[in-house]
Amino acid sequence: MRGQLQQEILDMLARGSSIEEVGNHICAYAEHQAAGVLCSIVTVDRDGILHPFAGSSISKTYSDALDGIRIGPDVGSCGTAAYLRRPIGVSDIFSDPLWEPYQSLADTLSREHGVKACWSSPILQSDGRVLGAFGFYYRENRGPTNEERMIVADCVDLCSLVLEREEIKAENERLAYFDSLTGLGNRANFIKTLEAAIEQANTPLAVLLIDMDHLGRINDAFGHATGDRLINAAAHTIARISRPHLTFRVDADEFAVLVGENAAFELHAIAKQILQAVEQLSIHEGAHALRASVSCGAAVSDPLDLRDVPTMLQHANLALHHAKQTARGSFVPYSESLAGMVAQRFRILQTVTSALAEDRVEPFYQPIVRLDTREVVGLEALCRIRTPEGEVLSAGLFSEALQDPSLGYLLTSRMLEQVAHDTKSWLDQAVPLQYVSVNVSMADFDRGNLRERIKEVFLRQHVPLDRIVLEVTETVYMDERDRKVATAIESLRADGLLVALDDFGTGYASLTHLLNFPVDIIKIDKSFVDRMSGRAAEVIVKGLLDIATGLGARIVAEGVETAEQALHLEHLGCSFAQGYLFGRPADRHTTTKLLRQQLQPAVSGAKEG
């Protein structure tokens, strides 16, 4: 008979019958084989909680009352059998101590079924973990017969097979649809839930995308375990505000929230709550208190086409990307104007990508001069792109590409190669030249191999490293959150390169940072030069000159465009300047002609202050 039952169960599973239908079939079989007996199956979850599973002969009132009880050594027949992992027989449910706390359940069984006794057997997984309990209920005060023991043994084995199979299926579904770190739904779950919600929606829905800021830096500095703790903290905070079943972890550091009715109104309120709540998060790693911040982007489904999921997600992603690029730590909703800005940015990136592929990226050089002699002491290499029509595009027209991690890195690599080639050519021709400066961005430091790149490129061309100046903007160099910039600069200076701090005065707390991160050249931003006729700007410039002298650094004034500005700077004691007054950026051939027109002091003058 067992073989027949097993085949019936396998056939039901193959036909797609539910697990509950299979359980009820097993109970019906047992009741048919053991006349007069009522049968039920309960399951036990991983927290040790009982849940009714099968047994249509047992009243719903009793089953509902059983749901949620924790197993233990004195929890009726089923709860005790599951806890002790051995069969438990109770011949009188009204007098046995195991049932004493559950007399209301006994009364229900007696009133609705005339039950007086219960015998329960544990259902165990192959690894020994308890999955549930199989119960026989009797209308007489008795225990099981030998024949009933055989029936139950067969049924328990099949229950174990079915429940273990279901648990594996549930675990596979959990792995397929839930994030193992946070317990939230994953990307597949998000798409499935969103599509189902939109299919049933009569009003617009919204998607809020949330990306954690600077998580990579925390992983690099403290390890991924610490980063995971921060992710978990942020996940639970977001889920608490937006409800867990509508919150998903869709990428390593990105979450999605589905916002239902009144989406346009609720969206801003939810985003504001999330931003504020995450900002208050803090986890401790040793002596460090690590704080989190997120950027948010969102889109609302089109009222005329609620079911256009791909477009809705594209808009939400564009909004999030814009928030991260321009306003980290804030919320940006999608709009048509935003779409235009994104399209423009895409065209810029495509222009740069094409220029790199077609070798249309080249350096233009602007002279840096001594104010007293007007002699060229150095050149700044500035990135330029030639269009297929021959037009030259300045960096200001493709500055967004310089912020892109991949394109910024490739542009610097192309510039380094060409500057090394040009510098080698000038040295071989004995053209008067002291140094060439090259700009680098955060994208170059993020890769972690800037020192190796620079040494490999210039030494391959036999260009001494002391002929090269590395220009770093203040916003990159002064980022206290990441020591890798300062560490890379310190190692490059040790190799002989000079380091210039570009656009000085446009950031924050610059003087304090100069104490911690020394540089060789400080370039005063054009904004100070433009306002030098005012007393305040003049005092600041004079103060910077005195500070630079004390630190052993050189000052170069940028953006000098008039003879009056040059004379004023020289009067204040500034020795070096750069700007249109002395020459606009020019290509290699024009620059070579300029250098040949003058004789230059010895290379040692490059480090004069």
Local confidence band at 607 (pLDDT 50, 70, 90 cut-offs): very low
Q: Please answer whether residues 427 and 463 qualify as being in contact, where contact means their C-beta atoms are separated by less than 8 angstroms.
A: yes
pLDDT at 322: 87
d(CA 41, CA 58): 10
Q: With a cut of 70, say whether residue 469 has pLDDT above it.
A: yes
pLDDT tens, position by position, 518-558? 789 999 888 888 888 777 778 888 888 888 888 888 999 99
- Do 2-176 and 187-334 show the same overall fold? no
User: Which pLDDT belongs to residue 258?
Assistant: 93
Please state the rounded mean pLDDT for residues 127-134: 93
Residue listed under structure tokens 């010895």: 602
346-597 — its CATH code?
3.20.20.450
pLDDT tens profile 494-516 = 999 999 988 776 654 456 667 66
> Is pLDDT above 70 for 479?
no
Amino acid identity of residue 344, one-letter, is Q
Q: Which helix (H) or strand (E) holds 248?
A: strand 247-251
Question: At residue 241, does pLDDT exceed 60?
Answer: yes
Question: What's the pLDDT at 605?
Answer: 43
Contacts of 605 (CB under 8 A, 6+ apart): 377, 434
The answer on pLDDT for 606 being more than 60 is no
Options 3.40.50.970, 3.30.70.270, 2.40.30.30, 3.10.150.10; CATH of 187-334: 3.30.70.270
In angstroms, the CA 119 to CA 232 distance is 45
Q: For residue range 218-231, list pLDDT tens digits in order.
A: 887 888 999 999 99
pLDDT, tens digit, 9 for 90 and up, residues 367-412: 999 999 999 999 999 999 998 988 888 887 777 777 777 888 999 9
- Give the mean model confidence (pLDDT) for residues 85-111: 95
pLDDT of residue 289: 84
Report pLDDT for 609: 39
| Amino acid 478: pLDDT | 57
Q: Find out if CATH 3.30.450.40 is the number for domain 2-176.
A: yes
CA 574, 577, 579 angle in degrees (round to 5)?
145
Q: Which of 48-62, 236-250, 442-456, 581-595 has the lowest mean pLDDT?
A: 442-456
Give the pLDDT band (50/70/90) at residue 233: very high
Percent of residues, the chain, with pLDDT higher than 70: 93
Q: What is the mean pLDDT of the chain?
A: 88
Query: Do residues 184 and 247 make contact, with C-beta atoms less than 8 angstroms apart?
Result: yes
Tokens of residue 48, six digits: 């040790």
At 509 the pLDDT is: 44
CB 232 within 8 A of CB 182: yes
Low-confidence winner among 243-252, 277-286, 518-527, 598-607 (lowest mean pLDDT): 598-607
**DSSP string for 82-124:** HHHTS-EEES-TTT-GGGGGGHHHHHHHHHHH---EEEEEEEE
Residues 6+ apart with CB under 8 A from 423: 433, 436, 458, 461, 463, 467, 468
Which percentage of the chain shows pLDDT scores above 90?
57
What's the rounded Cα separation, in Å, for the pair 532 and 25? Answer: 92
pTM: 0.60
Q: What is the pLDDT of residue 198?
A: 84
**563 pLDDT tier (thresholds 50, 70, 90):** very high
Q: Is the pLDDT of residue 603 over 60?
A: no
Tally of CB atoms within 10 A around 393: 18
The string of pLDDT tens digits covering residues 153-172 is: 999 999 999 998 888 887 88
From the number of C-beta atoms within 10 Å of its C-beta (0-12, 13-18, 19+), residue 451 rates as middle
Q: Tokens 């905070």 correspond to what residue? A: 237
pLDDT in tens, 326-362: 778 899 999 888 878 777 777 888 888 999 999 999 9
Residue ranges covered by each domain of the chain: 2-176, 187-334, 346-597
Residue 241 or 339, more confident: 241
- The mean per-residue pLDDT over the stretch 82-100 comes to 96
Q: Are 316 and 207 in contact (CB under 8 A)?
A: yes
